[in-house]
Chains A and B, each alone.
Chain A
Amino acid sequence: MKTLKTEYLITGNSSAGVACIEGIREIDKAGNITVVSDENIFNYSRPLISYLLGNRVKKKNMFFRSRNFYDENKVNLVLDNKAKKLDVKRKIVYFANSQSIKFDKLLIATGGSPIIPEIKGSQLNGVFTFTTFNDAVAIKDYIKKHTVKHAVVIGGGLIGLKAVEALVELGIKISIIELADRILSTTFDTKASGIIQNALKKTGCNIFTKNTVVEILSEDKENKAKLVTLKTREKIQADLVITAIGVRPNIQLVNNTSIVTHRGILVDETMQTNVKDIYAAGDVCEADTLLDEDKKNIPIWPNAFKQGRIAGENMAGGNAVYTGSVAMNSVELCGIPTISIGKTSLEQDKYEILEMRKKEESVYKKIVLENNHIVGCIFVGNIERAGIYTGLIMNKIDISSIKDRLLENDFGVLALPEKYRKHLVGDVGLEV
């Protein structure tokens, strides 16, 4: 097959890939863009799959850019084809269907894949991962075709709990199996986890912490999952099993090349890898962070988008700089909105903790300070104006003059240090 040529090649068509298109087109209106995705859907938002599963969003509303987005941006979109091999020297990517594409600039935005736990019986029918559109559709189909009364979700992190939320809406009884001593242990502290844990129990969920599934069992000839055995020897009914123990960056494409990787593909502040003209963005990369010295893989939507956008502008000759970000998540569980930003669960002396809790309303706020700078926040139950705190983190603002106001109910723009307030509002028509 003849090698095709393109000026910009983007492997991956989610947040970072789409943002990259927009970044390129900001500067270069004409250059040839080819986007290749290993999925068979023209465009969809991955975080929406739990809404799809829970019947809160229809298939036709899963996209986050319109049907004509690719035409309008003159993008050659290739679906259902996987990048297999990268020749860094000749600048060629080889694809699963034997096609090869020569590029001037490449963005690797291949995202991450779920880690499959090594459990006996994980090949049985009714055992699923939960990260893609096709996963959600397959789970939906399975529920439609078979009697699913009890489900087991392995992993009490964000993906697991989003699956739980959707399954609860479908009226399925759920058991969550979590290895750590509490759910949401990477994003929340003990108190915040506790609030959500109690709310989940009230909706009828069973939560098993410090536990794992050792085997998934079937009781029929069709090899349908029926039971799981826990480490503690308990057996739980499981007509459906969802594994959500984590996601790892899809770096296979750069294996055996000179591109430097750690957990993800390492990139500089322009989102370029150590090889000129090859960029990476989104869940596959490890980029600068705001609060730590070393680069980190922070697989969240807003980071992927920002990184993709910056990569795109730079690929087209711009000079955009990624100043780093922090982990942040916004999830509503059991009707309780929650937001967590940055470092949330630290016990060391160098951090100062401000807290507010109204038990009866499931409201909890926590602010983590280091040398009079906010490095983390948790909001449970009341998330209004949380972005103001994000702004204080992202802009590294000294909050010593407003420390006693940070937890006040009416904390707002008026309370911000004057210099920062002026900077914030300076360009946008506010005289305060």
Chain B
Amino acid sequence: MKRIRIDEKYCMGCRLCEVHCIVQHSKTKNILKTYMEEYPKPATRILVEEKGYVTFALQCRHCEDAPCLDACMTGAMYRDKKTGAVLCNEDKCVGCWMCIMTCPFGVISRSPDKKSIASKCDLCMGEDVPVCVKNCPNEALKYEDSKD
């Protein structure tokens, strides 16, 4: 499947990926409207971690053996047969947070709105290239075929 490859060497910690991720998952997909009018703003589904000189951006790894899939008691978490991506069906998710409990990368979070559902990277379904990759100014994120 196609995965987002993260290259820590090139990450500058500018957090543009987070901004674009938030906008992509907003109601309007417009940066001004998202930041000025949407409350609460959607959560970023990519997290920039930073310590000293080291930074990198991390989002769902769409694991081959995904613990969140085993743990999901509603069947909301599923693997997209076409792309191999691990996705959350927001109509079925009830916010039991079993996925948060089992994800070893800590990349699933509670949605900030009242819906109480799990929020995670969906590889920007429908886009050719996820927006975090498209907008990374230093190619620290790449979207490429992986071996599996």
Contacts and interface: CB of A to CB of B under 8 A. Distances in A.
Interface string B91-102: 110111111111
A45 B71 CA distance: 12
Nearest to B144: A429
Interface stretch (B22-30, B31-39, B51-59): B51-59
Nearest to A18: B75
Interface in A320-355: 328-332, 337, 339, 341
Contacts of A48: 73-74, 94
Interface of A: 15, 19, 45-48, 51, 56-57, 61, 63-66, 301-302, 305-306, 309, 328-332, 337, 339, 341, 383-388, 390-391, 394-395, 410, 412-415, 424-425, 427-432
Given A65-B75, A388-B104, A332 B3 contact: no
A337 B105 contact: no
19 contacts: A46-B73, A47-B96, A48-B74, A48-B94, A51-B94, A65-B75, A302-B102, A305-B71, A328-B102, A332-B96, A384-B110, A386-B100, A386-B106, A387-B101, A387-B102, A390-B104, A410-B51, A413-B106, A428-B64
B108 A387 contact: yes
A290 to B, nearest CB: 14
Given A414-B49, A414-B50, A339 B70 contact: no
B4 A387 contact: no
Contacts of B8: 430-432
A330 B73 CA distance: 11
Interface string B41-83: 0000001011100101010011110010011111100000000
B104 A301 contact: no
A336 B135 CA distance: 36
Contacts of A305: 70-71
B100 A330 contact: yes
A65 B74 CA distance: 8
Interface string B106-140: 10111000001000000000000000000000000
Contacts of B100: 330, 339, 383-387
Given A45-B73, A339-B100, A432-B8, A61 B105 contact: no
Contacts of A410: 49-51
Nearest to A301: B73
A395 B102 CA distance: 12
Given A64-B75, A330-B96, A339-B100, A429 B49 contact: no
A158 B99 CA distance: 18
Nearest to A303: B70
Contacts of A63: 75
A415 B54 CA distance: 11
A413 B94 contact: no
Q: Is the interface of B mostly helix, strand, loop or mixed?
A: mixed
Nearest to A408: B51
A174 B109 CA distance: 31
Given A48-B94, A384-B106, A385-B106, A413 B75 contact: no
A391 B8 CA distance: 22
Contacts of B15: none
B6 A383 contact: no
A337 B110 contact: yes
A387 B58 CA distance: 15
A332 B110 CA distance: 12
Given A48-B74, A64-B73, A430-B6, A388 B94 contact: no
Contacts of B101: 328-330, 339, 341, 383, 386-387, 390
Contacts of B63: 428
Contacts of A383: 97, 100-101, 110
A331 B95 CA distance: 9
B16 interface: no
Contacts of B75: 45, 63-66
Contact of B74 (A45, A386, A432): A45
Contact of B105 (A341, A413, A427): A413
A364 to B, nearest CB: 16
B106 A432 contact: no
A306 B75 CA distance: 14
A330 B61 contact: no
Contacts of A302: 67, 70-71, 98, 102
B56 A57 contact: no
A75 to B, nearest CB: 16
A412 B54 CA distance: 13
Contacts of B47: 412
B103 A387 contact: yes
